[in-house]
Amino acid sequence: MIVFVGLVLLFGMLFGCSDGEKPRVLLNAPVVSGPAPLAVAFDLSHSKIPQGASVQYTLDFGDGTPTATGTDLNIIVHHTYEIPGTFTARLTVTDAEGRRGEDSLTITVSDDGPPVGTDVGMTAPDFTAHTTDGGEITLSDYRGQVVLLEFWGAWCTPCKASMPRLQDLYDRYHAQGLVVIAVSTDPDEQDTIDFLTENDYTDFISVWAPGGKHGSPITKLYGVDSSLVGIPRTYLIDRQGVIRYVGHPLDLDDQLVEGLL
């Protein structure tokens, strides 16, 4: 009996189907907005499929044109949107067992780009802010770079626990164009400075504004209130200023960051 169970486990490990997990699908594209005609390069290669697994994909561009299909995800699919509008491109991947995974991207074909807002697919609200080293920044000045905008506080234990993750992302991707802007919700600016200095998180652009836990002008602009929306909270903003991820920094997939760089 023990030998039989061992063989079953070994078989599952070899063929990667014992856990029954569906494909982890990630649809990415460096450019998701612009005037018509808009050429978009959809990158399918960041999806995570067990080695040797057989899959079928369907990419619906959302504009009524024929879908793209295939079995090799290690590709880039090019598509041109000919008319203005907002379209949802959706990638569906199905494995040999019938398990499906999906992901989507909002494509905005417009001279003005996506509307301003704090949801994925929208243009990140602009702001000018004081930095804790005595300078000043404006978010839109970083167009052309990928920005990780982080709301945090030295008073917040989960925020402090997430800082090594931010440092790791910075260390690996800064040379390719990643900028980390850390917006503090601390009541006292000195608390922010002390924590970052003592823990050697000095590579980030550190921002502080009066308001603390109850909301500075920047946190209110992004709808981040520590009593309503939990922090840490991360906004990943692409080179065009479009928000591509909103959530906890520990849930941010490296593949998404790499696809934007």
Q: What is the pLDDT of residues 51-96, one digit of tens each?
A: 777 899 999 999 999 999 999 999 999 999 999 999 999 999 999 8
Which amino acid is it at 7? Answer: L
Q: Which listed CATH number (3.40.50.300, 3.30.310.50, 3.40.30.10, 3.60.21.10) goes with 128-260? A: 3.40.30.10
CATH number of 20-109: 2.60.40.10
Give the global pTM: 0.85
pLDDT digits (tens, 9 = 90+) for 208-223: 988 877 778 899 999 8
| 110 Cβ neighbours under 8 A, 6+ residues apart | 33, 34, 35, 84, 85, 86
Contact by Cβ (8 Å): 100, 22: yes
Contact by Cβ (8 Å): 80, 46: no
Residue written as token pair 């440092």: 167
Mean pLDDT of the chain: 89
> Is the link from the previous residue into 164 a cis peptide, with omega within 30 of 0?
no
How many residues can be counted in the chain? Answer: 261
- State the average pLDDT over residues 193-221: 90
Rounded CA-CA distance 154/160 in Å is 6
SS3 category, 218: helix
Domain locations along the chain: 20-109, 128-260
Rounded CA-CA distance 257/25 in Å is 15
pLDDT digits (tens, 9 = 90+) for 149-173: 999 999 999 999 999 999 999 999 9
Joined together, the tokens standing for residue 259 give 């696809």
Rounded CA-CA distance 99/254 in Å is 24
Contact by Cβ (8 Å): 78, 39: yes
pLDDT digits (tens, 9 = 90+) for 232-256: 999 999 999 999 999 999 999 898 9
Which of 184-193, 206-215, 218-227 is modeled with the greatest confidence? 184-193
